[in-house]
Amino acid sequence: MTSDITLADKTIIVTGASRGIGEAIARACARAGANVVLASRKQEGVDAAAATITAGGGSALAVACHMGQAEDVTALFGRAAEEFGTIHGLVNNAATNPYFGPMLAIEDSAFDKTIEVNLKGPLAASRGFAGQAPAGGSIVNVASVAGLGAAPLQGVYGMTKAALISMTQTLAHELGPMGVRVNAVAPGLVETRFASALIQNEELLKHVVERTPVGRHGQPDEIAGAVVYLLSDAAAFMTGQVMTIDGGWSSG
């Protein structure tokens, strides 16, 4: 195994890749040498993100995929294999958070949507990946610090991220004998459209920043490097782990 952090000659699927953390991960994977398959619900979004990669000399394929729909996930893996052959890595980044407020007040429709995208999607994608993964394959789940403890006003979202961490640990044990590693990253508050409800709330943002040792919130590119490492052979002895990337927020 090499200690170099490179994805040369590898094909990586990144879900939720049209913007934010997912797009940053896709760009970082391409810079590391990978063929990148960008998946997101709307074709125009992933087309734009993929065009940025190819304009820079990278290799990218854009595929519209609703991660909560099993048939879409199956089609995603078929299209990726048709274009690039073996898929070496999967980044389960797609997520939703349609409700912001007290946990007990969430409506069933919002609860079901959160479960569908944040849990059923990663499970379906992991199943698709495991069905063809080579030894040395890697899954990286994008969890959240909201899944590491209480998540006021984001209770169901935090619950799904806690479950995703549990899924990561269980799949690490189940897929390890196949030579497939499964890890997660848990970002803190990162400036994305997804997190705009927090970023644009001065009181909430001030609360987070004041208890963050680095004194600020994060940027998408600051998550991407850790994901590239976990996908690479440099992390060959690492599985079942959660890398927390939050500027020290969760350290106490």
Q: What is the pLDDT of residues 103-155, one digit of tens each?
A: 999 999 999 999 999 999 999 999 999 999 999 999 999 999 999 999 988 99
Determine which one of 77, 99, 157, 229 is catalytic: 157
Q: Enter the CATH code of domain 11-193+220-245.
A: 3.40.50.720
Instruction: Give the sheet arrangement for strand 35-40, strand by strand.
Output: 59-64, 35-40, 11-15, 89-92, 138-142, 181-187, 242-245
- Asked if 157 is an active-site residue, the reply is yes
Hey, where are the domains in the chain?
11-193+220-245
Q: How far is residue 136's CA from residue 134's CA, in Å, rounded to a whole number?
A: 6
DSSP label at 63? E
As beta bridge partners, residue 64 has 40
Q: What is the pLDDT of residue 28?
A: 98
Query: Using 50, 70 and 90 to split pLDDT, how confident is the model at 68?
Result: confident
CB 64 within 8 A of CB 118: no
What is the pTM assigned to this prediction?
Answer: 0.94
Work out the average pLDDT over 215-237.
Answer: 95
pLDDT at 211 over 90: no
